[in-house]
A and B are shown apart, each in its own frame.
Chain A
Amino acid sequence: DTEVTQTPKHLVMGMTNKKSLKCEQHMGHRAMYWYKQKAKKPPELMFVYSYEKLSINESVPSRFSPECPNSSLLNLHLHALQPEDSALYLCASSQDPMNTEAFFGQGTRLTVV
């Protein structure tokens, strides 16, 4: 089973809203990732969690706040987003940071209005 589950699949939010994206995996993976993908562009890394600790923040604005409550769950809290933040947000996991065979969830299509 190589399943990474993301919810919701689609999200529309206003610039003053607070929302959260959720990601779950039950493969025993100890590295989890958030990527952002704009149309016709490749995924761009936002955050890496390694053994439930934040190990990489790719200079992401503070309106994006990641959280890893346990080894199976990863959240991305959103607050005061801008329309240019509209994108596909992808969660991924891999066995550990040394083994980067990463499996992606189906993504959350976010629209900021």
Chain B
Amino acid sequence: QKEVEQNSGPLSVPEGAIASLNCTYSDRGSQSFFWYRQYSGKSPELIMFIYSNGDKEDGRFTAQLNKASQYVSLLIRDSQPSDSATYLCAVNPAPGNTGKLIFGQGTTLQVKP
């Protein structure tokens, strides 16, 4: 069974701090990695994707991928109360041409004013 693991949290950070969200995956052949944000009662919203080892930055968000360690993370700088949500890590497992995404359980982030 191909798995994606996340700490369910809640992760609590003060406003303005850096929030660090982590995800590990079991399928070494995985090629595409995604972070979704889901507010309570709403649908998932794609906020970041990364395909290559290293860092990818978009505004206050940075995704980090380490394929050797099978680890992907999301950093949120200058966290705001509006960032309070569940963050879902999703992985496209090998062979990578099926469209399938496997989601982690999600990490609940609480940003306190």
- Give residues in A with beta carbon < 8 Å to B: 31, 33, 41-45, 48, 50, 55-56, 88, 90, 94, 96-98, 100-107
Give 14 A-B contacts (CB < 8 Å), ordered by A residue.
A45-B101, A45-B102, A48-B98, A50-B98, A56-B98, A56-B99, A88-B43, A90-B43, A97-B98, A100-B34, A100-B92, A100-B100, A102-B101, A105-B43
Specify the main secondary structure of chain A where it touches its partner.
Answer: strand
- Give residues in B with beta carbon < 8 Å to A: 32, 34, 36, 42-46, 49, 88, 92, 96-106
* Count, A-B residue pairs, CB within 8 A: 61
CB of B99 within 8 A of CB of A103, answer: no
Closest approach, in angstroms, between the C-beta of A88 and any C-beta of chain B? 8
- State A42–B101 Cα separation when bound (angstroms): 11
Closest approach, in angstroms, between the C-beta of A85 and any C-beta of chain B? 18
| Contacting residues, chain B, for A105 (C-beta < 8 A) | 43
